[in-house]
């Protein structure tokens, strides 16, 4: 069984994890996304549903917040839109003004972003995005911790796309509650959240996951027995 099949089967995932990579140029033969999406996270949904493609900087201009987190250089009018959007969020008390500087962002120049369902990726992923319910994410989070790359600190939230630079920057897994924009663009259910794994560490997490699931099954029996006493 391949690594992606094992990960999906062990967790019982309904959707394929998404493999995401950043490169200077696209792999040969990989098509560019046919139509720019309303936000970068909309490409996650496309990849989870089987699409393999790359995006250029202009394909991310639909969401200026996502462009910011991905290190996409914005033209003047889009840069102004970013400031206006931040002003709106601060005005709504959705963000505090001093929070903006702490939002994780990619520092490397943006070339292309490559999206694919895990197992069909044309190059090694920088990040693997796992979408699941609370129990599924609990298990993969425990596996990541067992592999030495567990999430540290509070769960991340708005904007959801900031978990990508947070994961690559720290080379550690990231737990995210997502954000309202992401939930709209990806159809993320009320009961779902994300766990991002550094691509180079995926194999270790998958190996640990087998142990973690076995341990949880045995411990569940123990706790159920105590509950019945």
Q: Per residue in 4-61, pLDDT tens?
A: 788 999 999 999 999 999 999 999 999 999 999 999 999 999 999 999 999 999 999 8
Q: Which helix (H) or strand (E) holds 114?
A: strand 112-117
Q: How far apart are CA 229 and CA 224, in angstroms?
A: 9
Structure-token pair, residue 177: 């509650």
Q: Which helix (H) or strand (E) holds 44?
A: helix 42-48
pLDDT of residue 104: 86
Instruction: Name the pairing type of β-strands 127-133 and 192-198.
Output: antiparallel
Structure-token pair, residue 81: 């839109």
| pTM for the predicted model, two decimal places | 0.91
Whether 74 has a pLDDT exceeding 80, the answer reads no
* Contact by Cβ (8 Å): 140, 202: no
Residue with tokens 């969020």: 89
The total domain count for the chain is: 1
Range of the domain at 210: 3-228
Mean pLDDT calculated for residue range 153-160: 85
pLDDT of residue 73: 85
* Contact by Cβ (8 Å): 48, 131: yes
Q: Per residue in 106-155, pLDDT tens?
A: 989 999 999 999 999 999 999 999 999 999 999 999 999 999 999 888 88
């Amino acid at each position: 069984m391949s690594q992606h099949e094992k990960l999906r089967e062990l967790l019982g995932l309904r959707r394929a994890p998404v493999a995401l990579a950043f490169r200077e140029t696209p792999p040969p033969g990989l098509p560019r996304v046919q139509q720019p999406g309303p936000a970068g996270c909309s490409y996650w949904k496309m990849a989870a549903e089987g699409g393999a493609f790359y995006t250029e900087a202009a394909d991310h201009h639909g969401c200026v917040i996502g462009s910011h987190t991905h290190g996409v250089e914005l033209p003047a009018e889009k840069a102004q839109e970013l400031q206006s959007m931040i002003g709106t969020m601060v005005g709504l008390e959705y963000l505090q003004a001093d929070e903006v500087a702490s939002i994780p962002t990619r520092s490397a120049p943006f070339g292309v972003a490559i999206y694919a369902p895990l197992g069909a990726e044309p190059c090694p992923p920088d990040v693997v995005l796992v979408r699941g319910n609370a129990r599924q994410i609990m298990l993969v989070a425990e596996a990541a911790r067992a592999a030495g790359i567990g999430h540290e600190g509070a769960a991340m939230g708005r904007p959801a796309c900031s978990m990508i630079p947070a994961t690559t920057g720290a080379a550690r897994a990231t737990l995210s509650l997502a954000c309202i924009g992401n939930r709209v663009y990806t159809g993320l259910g009320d009961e779902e959240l994300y766990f991002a794994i550094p691509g180079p560490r995926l194999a270790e997490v998958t190996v640990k996951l087998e142990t973690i699931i076995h341990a949880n099954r045995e411990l569940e029996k123990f706790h159920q027995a105590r509950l019945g006493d």
